[in-house]
Structure 1
Amino acid sequence: MIKDNKLAVLIDGDNIPSRYIKEMMEEITKYGTPTVKRIYGDWTKPHLSKWKSILLENAITPIQQYGYTTGKNATDSAMIIDAMDILYSEKVNGFCLVSSDSDFTKLATRLREEGLVVYGIGEKKTPDPFIVACDKFIYLEILDTSEDEAENGKTKPKKASIDKITPKVIRLLRNSVDDAADDDGWAFMGDVGSLILKKQPNFDARNFGFEKLTPLFKSLPQFEIEQRDRTSGRFKLIYVRNKKK
């Protein structure tokens, strides 16, 4: 994750609910600075009226795109054309494509071919081809902390949005630990997290109700966790190892 990334944030206004925008923009700042922020849609249509005040609050530029032909998504085309213009301007080194539409799969692939990092954000209904075309894909549902609150006052994902930890998930975790491990079986947690994302871009500890990857591993009996002192600094390094079956 590169904190000084300059990101172009392109939002499919026809495809994303406006209620997620505040949490979504906060999430994006974890990965870089959003220097370009645009949202696309036909603003003459009543269903997009909820966006208007939100756009001013978040300094997002609305791009008007009329639907010239019935059954064709003009918004998608406008986003793709703008993305390519921004790419060749060389003013950013990453994109955040906000949509649940598989039509942006080829765009994400093309941007990554040029060496740019691509973050996808969309709902859980997003088709797999678009998800795997991104470096990382974040589900909007896990960003919605407007309701359920924990006893300590901190918000947490709504129960309906939390996924179960299946045997398939355990296999992904175990295999990733093995792939990143040293001769003693220990793997640095940061390396494990990076490897998991390469294998499955939509993997996120928050999908399972955990804020970070380390608490997720700690909750599972299949793994051992070890903290090690750094040679410098006050933070400890976290290592994980598969327990023998």
Structure 2
Amino acid sequence: MSGRVLVLGGTAEGRRLTEKLAELPGVEVVYSIAGRVAAPALPTAAQIRVGGFGGVDGLTSYLRDAGIAAVIDATHPYAALMTSAAITGSKAAAVPLLVVRRPGWPETDGDDWHRVPSLAAAAAALGGFGERVFLTTGRSGIAAFAGSDRHWFLLRSIEAPSPPMPARMDVLLERGPFTVEGETALMRGHRIDVVVTKNSGGLLTAAKLVAARHLGLPVLMVDRPPLPPGTPAVATVEDAVAWLTRLVGATDRSCTG
């Protein structure tokens, strides 16, 4: 196959995957991000595309007009709307799709996790866990906690949040990776009662869970949105590279046979 691959990125996996795919002969990579972060980390070996596609119809048209031969969705595990659009748009354009989803964090001995299905459910459950909340769900989810007036929040985010927001809140503008020692000191210093997070997986931000375990703190864990049944998915960059390599080989054989 001599063609273009669209990587829907915004994650460390997406960047690493793009660099790997760019090494394959005959493959040109377009790396697409939503553009919500002012200074995003970007791969060097790809054409960069910033901004939305204009919904499913816009994505479908882009795939056809740009000659995209395969789509790999390496967005955040909670970017459900983008993933849904990618699945629908790639099917409409008859373009092969693969989803890359890093494994979630496993619950281990000593953890005090309380699983909830959504940010709204996490906000509703806060009443039983103390008043001081370490919120690491990102700025886009802060609105779900805007009505929690009896709680104080420490929000950690890459960029500053926008209203609506909780009345009592401090903001830490930081990007991982974080250490267990640093997370432990942070939670102790702010007298945190409960941690609220998404099960994003990965190493960059896992230290907060170890720190919470050491401190005996409860964690409200927002479950991932499930992928639609039958969606092709892998857990690692290496598996995604292998998928595209097989696709390249199959396409080349069909063209020469």
TM-score (norm 1): 0.37
User: Higher relative contact order at CA 8 Å, sep ≥6: structure 1 or structure 2?
Assistant: 2
TM-score (norm 2): 0.35
